[in-house]
Amino acid sequence: MLPGLRKISVLTSLLCIAAIAVFFNSSRNLSVFSLGSHKSSLCSCHKCLTDGDPRFTEINTSSPKPFLSRKIMISEDDFNWWKRIYSERYNFSFYNATVVNIFKTFPPVPDVVEASPDRCRTCAVVGNSGNLKGSHYGPLIDFHDVIIRINRGRTKGFEADVGKRTTHHVMYPESAVPLDNTTHLVLVPFKIKDLLWLLQKFNQGENSAVNSKRMANKDLVMILSPAFMKYVHEIWLSKNGSYPSTGFLTFALSMFICDEVSVFGFGANKDGNWDHYFETLKNKHLRTGAHAGSHEYDVIQQLHKKQKIQFFKGW
């Protein structure tokens, strides 16, 4: 592309993002003045996720609580589904004992903001797809209230395309990255060893200074429930794939903690490879392994077509 045309292309992208941001902002303002005519709405957005779709509302309300807490334990049936992911050798009793120990260290009840008629909470779910390269979505992503990143997703050096802010970071031990003191660590446990890893990482004996040099603020730790993972696999994905990907679990989670959801960085790049924006592609035939990547992508596209979410493809 010629230098002049490239500048025009970038300027056009930025203007589009600015226009979308204005739309989001005006949407919030309009909704505040429209509360009188939409008393049944659960949030103050121009259009809430659950508005006008009984089937969607039914699916959401049938979900188990997305996070583990001291008050809510999973069933043995849910545990047995979960333990098959990695052929877990520990039994249900050991799992329950581990969860009890977990809540001696971490918040017993996750800090989840419920929907409210006087609030519009917007979410940006930022995946790691190579289709974010050159997207210039950074300012739009940073405009959201809640910004969720996944696994090794990073911002430094990629701010123009992926933004600067992070409020929640979803990970499992093998994909863990250190977080600052204000970002929620959302653990996706695929096995009991993942819960034990979490306890070990925040062991007081390892470093007696509270939160000093630790990977995250222990008071901002949240743990995805195996029951929720099973629900997403069976209801949202119709049992496609061996189990949901971390990315799709994050997307499903956003539907329960936000009123408006925007999705970025999901799917293959323009050449059909499932690569990451922060890595140099070496394998030209990357696929999604045990996950039903194409099916997960189709579900997100369908929700975009139904105007339940905003899906930004990047290319």
Helix (H, G, I), strand (E, B) or coil at 124: strand
Rounded distance, CA 33 to CA 46, Å?
A: 10
- State residue 284's pLDDT score: 58
Lowest-confidence region among 15-29, 34-48, 159-173, 257-271: 15-29
Considering only CA atoms, which of 135, 138, 61, 72 is closest in space to residue 100? 72
Mean pLDDT over residues 208-231, rounded? Answer: 83
- State residue 285's pLDDT score: 55
Lowest-confidence region among 41-50, 175-184, 242-251, 294-303: 41-50
Comparing 224 with 44, the larger pLDDT belongs to: 224
Q: Mean pLDDT for the chain?
A: 82
User: Would you say residue 121 has pLDDT above 80?
Assistant: yes
- State residue 211's pLDDT score: 45
- State residue 282's pLDDT score: 67
DSSP H or E stretch at residue 132: none
| Cα distances (angstroms) measured from residue 158 to each of 37, 102, 133, 283 | 42, 35, 8, 22
Q: Which residues are catalytic?
A: 243, 291
Domains: count for the chain: 1
Q: Which residue has the tokens 């660590």?
A: 185
Considering only CA atoms, which of 252, 251, 265 is closest in space to residue 130? 265
Lowest-confidence region among 45-54, 152-161, 281-290, 305-314: 281-290
- Centre a 10 Å sphere on the Cβ of residue 71 and count the other Cβ atoms it contains: 9
- Amino acid (one-letter) located at 235: I
- State residue 40's pLDDT score: 53
Q: What pLDDT band is residue 265 in, cutting at 50, 70 and 90?
A: very high
- State residue 125's pLDDT score: 98
Query: Residue 171: what are its φ and ψ, rounded to 5°?
Result: -160, 170
Comparing 8 with 105, the larger pLDDT belongs to: 105
- State residue 37's pLDDT score: 32
Rounded distance, CA 196 to CA 193, Å?
A: 5
Is the separation of the CB atoms in 275 and 129 below 8 Å? yes
Dihedral sign, CA of 310, 122, 274, 157?
positive
- State residue 46's pLDDT score: 82
Q: What pLDDT band is residue 264 in, cutting at 50, 70 and 90?
A: very high
Domain around 124: 3-312
Q: What is the CATH number of the domain that holds 40?
A: 3.90.1480.20
**What is the percent of the chain where pLDDT is above 90?**
57
Length of the chain measured in residues: 315
Q: What pLDDT band is residue 204 in, cutting at 50, 70 and 90?
A: low
How does pLDDT run across 1-55, given as a tens digit for each residue?
A: 444 544 444 444 544 554 444 444 444 432 222 223 334 567 888 888 877 777 7
- State residue 248's pLDDT score: 96
- Centre a 10 Å sphere on the Cβ of residue 169 and count the other Cβ atoms it contains: 27
Comparing 72 with 186, the larger pLDDT belongs to: 186
Mean pLDDT over residues 188-193, rounded? Answer: 97
In this structure, what token pair is assigned to residue 66? Answer: 């997305």
Rounded distance, CA 70 to CA 103, Å?
A: 6
